[in-house]
Structure 1
């Protein structure tokens, strides 16, 4: 085959865009992102992953939500009671225009303001992350699945008290019908095609992800994940 023939056969145009609201996969137009309890008190008790590992996924998730203008909800627990501090700066800084919805209970779905915020997005596919995996993420996931939502726990952006509690919670949510996802996979699902102009949004986020991933590896002396 000649060089001209190679050039003629090269694929440089994107495939047609599928219906972005009816697609069974995640798109910027059919999902919402939820962050629950990214607070100092929660981080302090995580035993299934390091804070750096959790932040790698959570910050990536926040950057993707911003880059693709996905409706985003942010919840905290116990701030109004004076028990806990608000969302940590690493996450809050990526969500500058997202208000915190504070509550008193461990299950955010039992809070009327949280339920109203989720419902107001008009989205049934909910990409969700929270600390701890086994409580603050698992409980609303189980409730929302029963009410007809599709829930996608972002497993590389969360953590539990121990590896066992985290893994058990993921298994419990999955058995109930949740669809676990990772932050980069979510980005690929939103972006979908490298030839589309908006793929540059993902390129920025993925480059940041691998820069921070390498920094974690350099700090720990290991090839992180």
Structure 2
């Protein structure tokens, strides 16, 4: 096994601000595709027993609640979500930072809405704190394509790896014929 490979045993999934209001503000990607992939990431984490940390910002305001599909997919993580009161950088929120540390994992997969606000700053801090980070670009979105591209460039230059939902699924599957691989193949409708 390569040291850079993420597995269900060495990585955690962090989903940031996939909220009904915020997702509607994005124009950089197809909103339905972003929702589908964010929910798929939660299903993936649940299927392989990977720690899943959810957070939201100002749910009672225009940002709205987290996507209800996340509650259906991962009810325990949804119930334990960290509700931030307005802190932009989720890692600056003591409860979120503690939840990430409590996973015991130094490799994290991150997706969120918006890439240029809610993803970039926690990713920069995660990198500063010694985490290895993969950012799932097709489960994240921004106000504009230009803003999204700038955020991705900034975090990649800082040391994060830019990836996609299919890459994460495949990396975690390792072998499509093994139980974890078969479970993940079903999520991708591979007929594995």
User: Scaled by the length of structure 1, what TM-score is found?
Assistant: 0.79
Contact preservation (8 Å) 2:22, 2:64: no
Unmatched 5+ residue regions in structure 2?
Answer: none
- The aligned counterpart of 2:139 is 157
Q: In the aligned structure 1, how far is the partner of 2:180 from the partner of 2:81?
A: 29
- The aligned counterpart of 2:179 is 197
- The aligned counterpart of 1:56 is 36
**Pick from 84, 102, 106: which aligns with 2:83?**
102
- The aligned counterpart of 2:127 is 145
Contact preservation (8 Å) 1:33, 1:71: yes
SS across alignment from 2:188? helix
- The aligned counterpart of 2:71 is 92
Q: Does 1:181 align with 2:175?
A: no
Report the aligned-residue RMSD: 1.4
- How far residue 185 of structure 1 moved from its aligned partner, in angstroms, is 0.8
Unmatched 5+ residue regions in structure 1?
Answer: 1-17, 209-225
- The aligned counterpart of 1:206 is 188
- The aligned counterpart of 2:148 is 166
Contact preservation (8 Å) 1:60, 1:184: no
User: Scaled by the length of structure 2, what TM-score is found?
Assistant: 0.92
Contact preservation (8 Å) 1:57, 1:182: no
- The aligned counterpart of 1:212 is none
- The aligned counterpart of 2:57 is 77
Q: In the aligned structure 1, how far is the partner of 2:7 from the partner of 2:155?
A: 22
- The aligned counterpart of 2:20 is 40
**Aligned length in residues:** 186
Contact preservation (8 Å) 2:19, 2:64: yes
SS across alignment from 2:186? helix
- How far residue 56 of structure 1 moved from its aligned partner, in angstroms, is 2.4
- How far residue 195 of structure 1 moved from its aligned partner, in angstroms, is 3.0
> Max radius of gyration: which structure?
1
SS across alignment from 1:198? helix
Cα deviation per residue 1:38-83 (whole Å; 9 max; x = unaligned)? 112211210101211101221221111111010000000113xx32
SS across alignment from 2:12? strand
